[in-house]
């Protein structure tokens, strides 16, 4: 059987903070030591598992910095979801003509601005972040349909990259500042909803003699035209939008599909008076975690991810089982497949598998201690659990 310690073989230390548990982890991947902070709330998981929110730092930052300042861990305890704060590696890059060596996610911000000398052997940070999510799923009861990502600056550029390349893992994405780069503008296999927030005083979005980003009604669309063309094409959307405003922001919502594309919405918000920052409610009068958490909940609840009204047509046999447990699910609803979570009655995950696209599946249970367990199936609009009894061989 898997346990938290066995699966998280790279676990260094667990620190209790109030009722939360902070896990500082390190592990080797592709020859590099990778680090992350995982924070588990002090409440029992929801019946369909904890939601998970990953926060990506900007250039020169790390997971510890945004663990401390972003506001996500506090909201995670309040709303009962897991928060994750990974750290990037350090690289050489050119910034305004000056070569620098610092932490930066491997996306177009880095690869389009190389230093002189031989090419660097870049890692695949998409692979790292997907691997990290999977390892957490293997150890903690996570709702695979409610895994989200947010980011700041270079971390926000990474959010755009993940929206294009990791829609099989993340259900929605949102961030502030850094945008989609040209080299990361790929056509997604699985599109996800995306929200991008920028301050009109963000100096990464204007050049002298300008002192701010234009804040007129639709002038931002022309000012950042190349960016909008890229992101709308990736999202499968037309240039038509709806406009809304408050005293401090202008929001442009794009939701019209381009042709027969299976599109996902894109929202862009320009905030008046905000500089290059990730607002947390203290450093600016809005809280990105609160805004984005509400957004994540809205886009997932719209498709009833955890509803139980429509029970899936699935069978589990034999029950009791001694060596193998067979699952038959002929009515797969989602093109992304369904998920199976096998756990003990305390919620500890013993087996997890997502994106199953075939109707029959087998779980070996011969080495599992006899007793009562739970098997949950999660599909597009259902989340249903059944009790399973495991007995000794021959009984």
pLDDT value at 150 more than 90: yes
In a shared domain, residues 76 and 195 = yes
Closest CA to 152 of 250, 277, 43: 277
Please, which pLDDT band fits residue 340 given cuts at 50, 70 and 90?
A: confident
In a shared domain, residues 137 and 227 = yes
In a shared domain, residues 256 and 372 = no
Q: 289 or 368, which is more confident?
A: 289
Please check whether residue 332 lies inside any domain of the structure.
Answer: yes
User: Tell me, what CATH number does 345's domain have?
Assistant: 2.60.40.3080
Please, which pLDDT band fits residue 22 given cuts at 50, 70 and 90?
A: very high
Query: Which residue bears the tokens 């904890």?
Result: 50
Please say whether the beta carbons of 114 and 104 come within 8 A.
no
Please, which pLDDT band fits residue 118 given cuts at 50, 70 and 90?
A: very high
236-248 pLDDT, tens digit each: 999 999 998 888 9
Q: Residue 366's pLDDT is what?
A: 84
Q: Residue 103's pLDDT is what?
A: 98
Please, which pLDDT band fits residue 312 given cuts at 50, 70 and 90?
A: low
pLDDT value at 172 more than 50: yes
- Number of structural domains found in the chain: 2
In a shared domain, residues 271 and 382 = no
In a shared domain, residues 223 and 351 = no
Q: What is the mean pLDDT of residues 350-356?
A: 84
In a shared domain, residues 101 and 238 = yes
In a shared domain, residues 293 and 366 = no
Comparing 85-89, 313-317, 359-363, the range with the smallest average pLDDT is: 313-317
Please check whether residue 262 lies inside any domain of the structure.
Answer: yes
CA distance 358 to 226: 41
Please, which pLDDT band fits residue 232 given cuts at 50, 70 and 90?
A: very high
In a shared domain, residues 272 and 347 = no
Please say whether the beta carbons of 365 and 323 come within 8 A.
yes
pLDDT value at 80 more than 60: yes
Last residue within a domain, chosen from 275, 301, 327: 301
Quick one: angle between helices 154-165 and 225-235, nearest 10? 30
In a shared domain, residues 249 and 160 = yes
pLDDT value at 234 more than 70: yes
Last residue within a domain, chosen from 301, 330, 359: 301
- Encode the chain in three state secondary structure: CCCHHHHCCCEEEEEEECCEEEEEEEEEECCEEEEEEEEECCCCCCCCCEEEEEEECCCCCCHHHHHHHCCHHHHHHHHCCEEEEECCCEEEEEECCEEEEEECCCCHHHHCCECCCCCCCCCCHHHHHHHHHHHHHHHCCEEEEEEEEEEECHHHHHHHHHHHHCCCCCCEEEEECCCCCHHHCCCCCCCCCEEEEEECCCCCCCCCCCCCCCCCCCHHHHHCHHHHHHHHHHHCECCCCEEEEECCEEEEEECCECCCCCCCCEEEEEECCCCCCCCECCCCCCEHHHHHHHHHHHHHHCCCCCCCCCCCCCEEECCCECCEEEEECCCCCCCCCEEEEEEECCCCEEEEEEEECCCEEEEECCCCCCEEEEEEEECCCCEEEEEEEECCCCC
The model carries a pTM of 0.76
pLDDT value at 17 more than 70: no
As a whole-number percent, the residues of the chain with pLDDT over 70 amount to 89
pLDDT value at 30 more than 60: yes
* Sign for the pseudo-dihedral over CA of 23, 24, 26, 29: positive
Please check whether residue 287 lies inside any domain of the structure.
Answer: yes
Please check whether residue 170 lies inside any domain of the structure.
Answer: yes
pLDDT value at 301 more than 70: no
In a shared domain, residues 241 and 366 = no
Please check whether residue 64 lies inside any domain of the structure.
Answer: yes
Please check whether residue 171 lies inside any domain of the structure.
Answer: yes
184-204 pLDDT, tens digit each: 999 998 999 999 999 999 999
Q: Residue 369's pLDDT is what?
A: 84
pLDDT value at 205 more than 80: yes
Last residue within a domain, chosen from 301, 323, 352: 301
pLDDT value at 35 more than 80: yes
In a shared domain, residues 87 and 21 = yes
Q: Residue 372's pLDDT is what?
A: 75
In a shared domain, residues 286 and 329 = no
Please, which pLDDT band fits residue 302 given cuts at 50, 70 and 90?
A: low
Domain containing residue 200 = 4-301
Q: 338 or 268, which is more confident?
A: 268
Q: What is the mean pLDDT of residues 214-232?
A: 95
User: Tell me, what CATH number does 37's domain have?
Assistant: 3.40.50.1820
Q: 35 or 218, which is more confident?
A: 35
Structure tokens, 376: 């949950």
Q: What is the mean pLDDT of residues 304-319?
A: 60
Please check whether residue 182 lies inside any domain of the structure.
Answer: yes
């Amino acid at each position: 059987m898997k346990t938290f310690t066995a699966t998280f073989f790279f676990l260094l230390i667990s620190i209790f903070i109030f009722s939360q548990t902070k896990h500082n982890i390190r592990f080797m991947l592709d020859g590099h030591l990778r680090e992350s902070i995982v924070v588990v709330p002090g409440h029992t998981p929801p019946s369909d598992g904890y939601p998970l929110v990953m926060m990506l730092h900007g250039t020169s930052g790390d997971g510890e910095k945004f663990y401390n300042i972003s506001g996500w861990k506090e909201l995670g305890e309040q709303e009962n979801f897991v928060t994750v704060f990974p750290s990037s590696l350090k690289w050489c890059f050119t910034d305004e003509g000056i070569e620098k060596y610092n932490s930066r996610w491997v996306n177009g911000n880095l690869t389009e601005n190389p230093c002189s000398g031989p090419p660097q052997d870049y890692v695949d940070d998409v692979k790292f972040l997907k691997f990290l999510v999977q390892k957490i799923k293997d150890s903690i009861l996570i709702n695979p349909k409610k895994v989200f990502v947010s980011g700041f600056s270079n971390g926000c550029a990474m959010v755009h990259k993940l929206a294009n390349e990791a829609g099989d893992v993340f259900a929605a994405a949102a961030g502030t500042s850094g945008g989609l780069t040209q080299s990361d503008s790929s056509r997604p296999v699985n599109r996800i909803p995306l929200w991008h927030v920028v301050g009109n005083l963000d100096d990464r979005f204007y050049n002298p003699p300008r002192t701010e980003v234009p804040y007129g009604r639709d002038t931002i669309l022309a000012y950042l035209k190349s960016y909008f063309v890229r992101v709308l094409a990736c999202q499968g959307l037309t240039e038509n939008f709806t406009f809304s405003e408050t005293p401090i922001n202008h929001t442009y919502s794009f939701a019209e599909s381009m042709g027969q594309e299976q599109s996902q919405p894109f929202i862009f918000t320009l905030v008046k008076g905000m500089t290059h920052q990730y607002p947390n409610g203290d450093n600016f009068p809005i809280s990105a975690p609160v805004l984005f958490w509400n957004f994540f909940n809205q886009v997932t609840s719209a498709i009833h991810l955890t509803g139980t009204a429509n029970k899936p047509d699935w069978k589990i046999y034999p029950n009791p089982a001694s060596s193998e447990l067979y699952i038959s699910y002929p009515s797969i609803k989602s093109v992304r497949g369904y998920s199976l979570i096998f756990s003990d009655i305390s919620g500890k995950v013993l087996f997890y598998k997502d994106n199953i696209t075939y109707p029959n599946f087998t779980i070996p249970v011969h080495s599992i201690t006899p007793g009562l367990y739970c098997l949950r199936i999660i599909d597009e609009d259902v989340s249903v659990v059944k009790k399973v009894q495991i007995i000794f061989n021959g009984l």
